[in-house]
């Protein structure tokens, strides 16, 4: 049965109780999107659009869960002092908050939240905090979230002090060694077959709360906790940590969007109010772009402050002032980020970067002029721009060390590359770090930089030797544009421009956009759909803020004017527009025009080529 027949079947079978009846009103272009992503039957579409709680994975499938829950039950009976240790990023911060609130609502009274300093301590579950927690609070149990998979020393110290440790983490183990602790819950650790390897750190913590809640209810205890109250924390963590929004993640985050209207945490509530996000159903962009960076700015820039502070405020006026402080910090963060990007561009412009790219296949740069709190943001910026692994560091000249972040395109994973594997390779060069296949944080001695560069060069051998700059079009560009053009050229050798499905003018209207919105959440693993709109001719074009383009076309079906926005065009896209604004094939996203809350669509241009150019392909 071909696709048209499947669509026809879904449309025509209207018998009462038939699942196809429930799907008959779905627009064809939505069905085409779902089909392009593997949802080709009525059952699969139904289950995706209307997920059921009954289909969620049993939390006890996670290895180590039984031991962890039994130990927590014992701690509850005796009201032991429990420390909750969360990483300093937003996954760790909101995982810590989620565990604290969840345990508190289940009757735990002696909870100690703790978080390391990003700048003073660096990433990890540190031994010194184990000692401090025992001496200062007499803790008998430490529960980690989003951290701990490499904490051999801290767990050894805890054992010596007779403190039990439950590690909940999702980071990839390095090598074969695991920390010795009472229970280790990590869906990415060897021996775990739960299928939940897509969870973020807070997600693993949430499944511990789910399991403990069920355990207590099964024993006849009254549990006041409503899991929905914790979902906003989970959503912020999952979206900012960029984990795949698949499986159970999709259901939880879909439910979470409405939950932001009911947030009770006074610190988070005041920040939502300042951003005008407190009385609306949020989406992934609201969380990832508008909300999260403001909270993250604290840990990035303030050496003596921790992001968890916002979540443990108790007084309304103080929380309001704190929210204002975060907004000011975020402005400073943007300035430092821009300055860091400028430093890297100066390095690129002043070096033989074309030759470096051909020989190395990655960008590695550090400077004392780059703030340590924005290295990840800068690495991510250049990874997206160059489509290469980018490792950016902040050099502490006094201590002769470099604090760095690495980011790598997903396409390199397909070439069997992983930044975690690279970190393991660099261990012998006094480099300490960890994270995920495409995102790591690490620290190294500056004296080892050239040795590390050599090892990186050997690891990232990805481009063919035949890719020469002589293959580039003979055009004159500024140095940074030449680099972008080179990378666009190299990327084109690997993969064509991608889209999900073709769309017609008659399908572009607000009612259909609402169906697109219903497909949320969008993110890693289920990206926002991209559409191919063929042979578009624009009536006019204008420049916005000296770097963006606004283009106006006529909808050939409704004869209405439609605005198209192209943000930060690269040199190739600029050339296409400069040649002609008629007869273009566009890869677009359909958005809501949020200006004054209008119920109309806005078209974002992701890419464009001359009509009938063959450098387009459907996503697979």
The closest alpha carbon to 186, from 142, 146, 157, 155, belongs to 146
Check whether 616 has a pLDDT greater than 80: no
Instruction: Give the pLDDT confidence score for residue 407 in this predicted structure.
Output: 95
Backbone angles phi, psi at 245, to 5 degrees: -90, 70
User: How far apart (Å, rounded) are the C-alpha atoms in residues 37 and 45?
Assistant: 11
In the predicted model, is pLDDT for residue 474 greater than 80? no
Distance CA 382, CA 358 (A): 16
Q: What pLDDT digit, counting tens, does each position of 8-48 carry?
A: 333 333 333 344 666 778 888 899 999 999 998 888 898 88
Instruction: Write out the H or E segment, with its range, that includes residue 401.
Output: strand 401-407
Give the torsion sign (CA, 254, 236, 294, 96): positive
Q: Rounded to an integer, what distance in angstroms lies between the CA atom of residue 51 and that of residue 31?
A: 17
**What mean pLDDT do residues 432-443 have?**
86
Instruction: Report the phi/psi class of residue 296: left, alpha or beta, with left for phi > 0 and alpha for psi in -120 to 50.
Output: alpha
**Nearest CA to 431 among 300, 422, 439?**
422
Q: Where are the domains of the chain?
A: 3-47, 59-261, 263-331, 351-493, 497-618
pTM for the model? 0.83
What is the assigned CATH class of domain 59-261?
A: alpha beta
Q: Which two tokens stand for residue 600?
A: 């109309």
Per-residue pLDDT tens digits for 45-102: 988 888 888 889 999 999 999 999 999 999 999 999 999 999 999 999 999 999 999 9
Q: How does pLDDT run across 492-518, given as a tens digit for each residue? A: 433 356 899 999 999 998 888 999 999
CA separation for the pair 153, 31 (Å, rounded): 52
Edge-first strand order for the sheet with 584-592 is 501-502, 531-536, 584-592, 601-610, 561-566, 548-554, 540-544
pLDDT for the residue numbered 387: 82
pLDDT bucket at 553, cuts 50 / 70 / 90: very high
Q: Which CATH architecture has domain 351-493?
A: Roll (3.10)
Tell me if 137 sits within 8 A of 145, measured CB to CB: no
Tell me the pLDDT tens digit for each residue of 282-304: 999 999 999 999 998 998 888 88
CB 200 within 8 A of CB 238: yes
| Ramachandran sector of residue 191 (left: φ over 0; alpha: ψ -120 to 50; beta: rest) | left
Look at the block and give the residue holding tokens 């979902």: 231
Sheet containing strand 111-114, strands side by side: 111-114, 82-86, 141-145, 164-168, 183-185
Q: Which percentage of the chain shows pLDDT scores above 70?
A: 88
Q: Looking at residue 344, what is its pLDDT?
A: 92
568 within 8 A of 545, measured Cβ to Cβ: no
Please state, rounded to an integer, the average pLDDT across all residues of the chain: 86
Task: Give the pLDDT of residue 612.
Answer: 72
CA–CA distance from 421 to each of 237, 243, 417, 443, 549 (Å)?
25, 19, 8, 15, 41
| Beta bridge partners of residue 403, listed in sequence order | 394, 443
Per-residue pLDDT for 602 more than 90? no
Choose between 545 and 202: higher pLDDT: 202
Crossing angle of helices 266-274/316-349, nearest 10°? 60
Q: Comparing 5 with 213, which gets the higher pLDDT? A: 213
Q: Which residues pair with 526 in a beta bridge?
A: 523
Question: What's the pLDDT score for residue 134?
Answer: 97
| pLDDT confidence bin for 483, thresholds 50/70/90 | low
Tell whether the model's pLDDT for residue 163 goes beyond 50: yes
- Taking only the tens place, the pLDDT of each residue in 203-221 is 999 999 999 999 999 999 9
Q: Specify the 3-state DSSP secondary structure of 164.
A: strand
The model's pLDDT over 584-597, given as tens digits with 9 standing for 90+, comes to 999 999 998 876 56
Place of tokens 């060897």: 190
Neighbours of 364 (CB within 10 A): 19
Q: What residues are paired with 367 via a beta bridge?
A: 394
Segment 241-266 shows an average pLDDT of 92
Which CATH fold topology does 497-618 show?
OB fold (Dihydrolipoamide Acetyltransferase, E2P) (2.40.50)
558 Cβ contact partners less than 8 Å away, ≥ 6 residues apart? 505, 506, 509
Residue-wise DSSP of 246-261: -THHHHHHHHHHHHGG
């Amino acid at each position: 049965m071909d696709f048209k027949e499947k669509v026809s079947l879904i449309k025509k079978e209207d018998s009462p109780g038939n699942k196809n009846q429930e799907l008959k009103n779905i627009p064809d272009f939505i069905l085409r999107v779902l089909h392009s992503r593997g949802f080709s039957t009525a059952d699969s579409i139904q289950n995706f659009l209307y997920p059921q709680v009954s289909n969620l994975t049993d939390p006890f499938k996670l290895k180590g869960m039984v031991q962890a829950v039994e130990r927590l039950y014992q701690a509850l009976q005796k009201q032991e002092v429990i420390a909750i240790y969360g990483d300093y990023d937003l996954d760790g911060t909101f995982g810590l908050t989620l565990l604290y609130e969840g345990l508190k609502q289940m009757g735990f009274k002696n909870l100690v939240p703790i978080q390391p300093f990003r700048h003073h301590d660096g990433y990890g579950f540190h031994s010194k905090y184990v000692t401090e927690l025992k001496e200062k609070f007499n803790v008998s149990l430490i529960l980690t979230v989003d951290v701990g998979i490499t904490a051999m020393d801290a767990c050894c110290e805890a054992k010596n002090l007779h403190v039990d440790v439950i590690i909940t983490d999702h980071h990839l183990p390095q090598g074969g060694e695991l920390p010795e602790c009472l229970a280790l819950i990590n869906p990415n650790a060897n021996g775990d077959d739960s299928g939940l390897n897509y969870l973020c750190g807070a997600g693993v913590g949430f499944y511990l709360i789910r399991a403990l809640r069920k355990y207590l209810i099964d024993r006849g205890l009254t549990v006041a906790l409503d899991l929905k109250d914790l979902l906003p924390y989970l959503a912020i963590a999952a979206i900012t940590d960029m984990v795949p929004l698949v499986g159970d993640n999709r259901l939880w985050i879909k439910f979470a969007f409405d939950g932001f209207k009911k947030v009770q945490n006074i610190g988070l509530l005041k920040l939502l109010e300042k951003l005008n996000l407190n009385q609306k159903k949020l989406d992934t962009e609201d969380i990832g772009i508008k909300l999260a960076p403001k909270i993250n700015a604290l840990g990035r820039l303030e050496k003596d402050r921790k992001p968890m502070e916002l979540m443990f405020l108790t007084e309304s006026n103080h929380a309001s002032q704190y929210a204002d402080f975060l907004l000011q910090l975020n402005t400073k963060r943007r300035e430092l980020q821009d300055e860091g990007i400028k430093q890297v561009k100066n390095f690129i412009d002043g070096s033989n970067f074309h030759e470096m790219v051909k020989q190395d296949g990655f960008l590695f740069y550090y400077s004392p002029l780059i703030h340590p709190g924005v290295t990840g943001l800068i690495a991510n910026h250049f990874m997206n721009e160059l489509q290469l692994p980018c490792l950016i560091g902040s050099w502490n000249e006094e201590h002769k060390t470099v604090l760095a972040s690495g980011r790598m395109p997903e396409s390199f994973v397909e070439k069997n590359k992983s930044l975690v594997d690279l970190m393991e390779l660099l261990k012998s060069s006094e480099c300490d770090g960890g994270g995920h296949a495409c995102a790591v944080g690490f620290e190294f001695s500056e004296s080892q930089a050239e040795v590390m560069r050599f090892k990186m060069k050997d690891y990232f051998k990805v481009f063919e030797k035949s890719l020469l700059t002589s293959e580039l079009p003979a055009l004159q560009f500024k140095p940074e544009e030449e680099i972008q053009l080179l990378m666009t050229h190299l990327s084109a050798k690997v993969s064509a421009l991608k889209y999900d499905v073709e769309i017609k003018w008659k399908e572009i209207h607000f009612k259909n956009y609402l169906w697109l919105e219903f497909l949320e959440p969008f993110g890693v693993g289920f990206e926002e759909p991209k559409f191919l709109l063929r042979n578009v001719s624009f009536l006019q074009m204008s420049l916005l803020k000296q770097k963006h383009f606004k283009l106006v076309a006529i909808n050939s079906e409704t004869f209405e004017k439609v605005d198209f926005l192209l943000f930060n065009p690269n040199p190739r896209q600029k050339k296409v527009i400069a040649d002609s604004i008629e007869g273009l094939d566009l890869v677009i996203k359909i958005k809501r025009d949020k200006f004054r809350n209008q119920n109309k669509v806005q078209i974002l241009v992701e890419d464009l080529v001359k009509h009938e150019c063959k450098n387009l392909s459907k996503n697979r």
